[in-house]
Structure 1
Amino acid sequence: MKAAVLPEFGSALRVEDVADPDIGTGEVLVDVVAAPVLSYTGEVLSGARRYLLPTPVVPGAGAIGRVRAVGPDATRLQPGDWVYCDPTVRSRDGGNIPDITLQGASARGEGGQKLQRYFRDGTFAEQVRIPTENAAAIGPIKPEDAGKWCAIGTLLIAYGGLLAMNFQPGETLLVSGATGNFGSATAALALAMGARRVVAAGRNTKVLNDLRRRFGDRLVPVTLSGDAAADTEAMKRTAGVPIDAVQDFLPPEASAGVARAAIMTLRQGGRAVLMGGVGMLGGEDLALPYPWIMRNLITVRGQWMYDAEAISGLLGLIRSGLIDLGLWTVSEFPLANANEAVAHAADNAGAFKMTVLKP
């Protein structure tokens, strides 16, 4: 089969013939129809993001495809079924604290790297081998719509954070980093889940205004100034009601002070979920006042990716029409143009923009 191979960090992808994957018990072989190319893929491939990813490797996290073959223990999946290839691979012997690898992208800890040595190659290829439980049936779709269905990957990460904070209908959510791909997806999901109000915070006024245009009065934008104290007050004032929860998707280049300013808007008993990249490239720590956290009953937690159960809930939101995949503008590239796709993704980052490879 054809695949885009990263020989080493800092090299261009090479599209070449590689061996077809073999599958065994507990595995599924999928023909990749569309694979998302995240805006920061180039930073991963260059090594700038310092992701744990052994080379040479076929990168690519997640895909929409059709089942080619299943292992002997599969009872429901059939060849031809449309599936989402979930890149979040969990160790089966980890109990409540499984080791995790992001197939074709990164790994967490020593156990995750051990898992990665087997589920290594990702979806920038004509076929991918994944664990049976990572082939999530999505039901019939039109082949030409496979690209926009790749938005599942972005939505799942955002949805995982909302589930982690136990977000409820009628609550007010502040999205820190709302103008990015994950932040804007969080806004769309929270509104679909019945948010009273979504406060969209960021520095790009044009994108913030576009979010308001898309979602109406229940979304209120706040353009940040860089003055932490002033920004905290501006977000609270703009919300107009107590802020129940904060979801943070700030990128690695953002300062901890921006994240702190958002968290400090929370009402008593509020929750914050951190899912971005602040501090990944160095810089100050996220320093929050101990007395304020304690006396105001604040919960701050991290969330990496999502629990597997999130997939069925998200598919329900999509199939019900509460989430419209037509929000995304999709740019498609053939596998032969993988390097062009990576560059295009970097140059066209932001809310509701998506680049995909079509092997």
Structure 2
Amino acid sequence: MADRFDKLQVEFIDQDESVQDVADAIGSSGDVPERYVRPEMEADPVIVDADGYSLPVIDMSRLIDPEFSEEEIAKLGSACEDWGFFQLVNHGVDGESLKQVKADVAEFFSLPLQEKMAVAIQPNGLQGFGHHFVFSKDQKLDWVDLLFLTTRPAEERSMDFWPTNPPTFRDSLDKYSQEIADVSDKLFKFMAIDLGVDEEALLGAFKGKPHQSVRINHYPPCRQAADRVLGLSPHTDGVGMTLLLQVNGVQGLQIRKDGRWFAVQNLPGALIVNVGDVLEIITNGKYRSIEHRAVINPDKERITIAAFQSAPLSCTVGPLQELLMNGEPRYKTVDGVEFTKGYFAAKLEGRRYLESLKLGV
């Protein structure tokens, strides 16, 4: 199956090095290449464990239970409006499925570079192992290696980029992607209730069912300059919803709230869910897509799986008519290809592209 992103013609340049190999090469005493060093990080304060800065926790079992559902849906709506992020507990993803996909992902990133390059991203492509958002030989780079794959619908997968080593990788990712799709379907249902719209109306913006892709991230440790490199630059997600799984328990996610960075402490076993740009636009700004970034641990690698529930390129992205206040849309309506190309062209620069779509009403 051809890559559904082909029509985007994203013009990335090749970054022909693995961050893990860079980390191994500099050892414990070498200097981090200047391309990765962010001097501004040293003057960027971060809030940790402060009063009033505790990420909302949503319980899926309470959302489903008629006795508690109304109360939990209200909490879900508040989290999407005030934070744009929440931790989802009792999500129902099978424990064995989680265990296997975590093991396979960790094993893949432990392979020699030559084996990982068997599924390397092709020139100007998106799927496979490598790097995204590299537009220039002079730009600052993120301290991360990634594996990006289309996962749902299954007929749109490009299997040439799905690793065959470890041997169980394809099967475990397939099962996990289905479990996450089921979780996201339930969340969209409860969001529709909170928003006061039909579920079909909300999912209609995704042409009936969101597409899914995964970005599997490997952030090597950086003892020399952990406070001066970034795993992932500040950005919003250009999708409907993201569900993040911590593979090995090492923290690193930070979100921007009230103009300051807040360090998220992931609850064991929880999924971290965030509103994406598409959902902010669809809800006409009621739900918020929040800027976030990934920082680096000096001593431990961090591995995550971000599952993106997104609108197909054939859709249009714009506010739902049912949610327009006094008939006043706050965002432009654009087609899916234009939206996605604009998002990539913004080069992970915070909310820049999302703000450019506002109508100023």
The normalised TM-score by structure 2 is 0.25
The normalised TM-score by structure 1 is 0.26
> Larger % of strand: which?
1
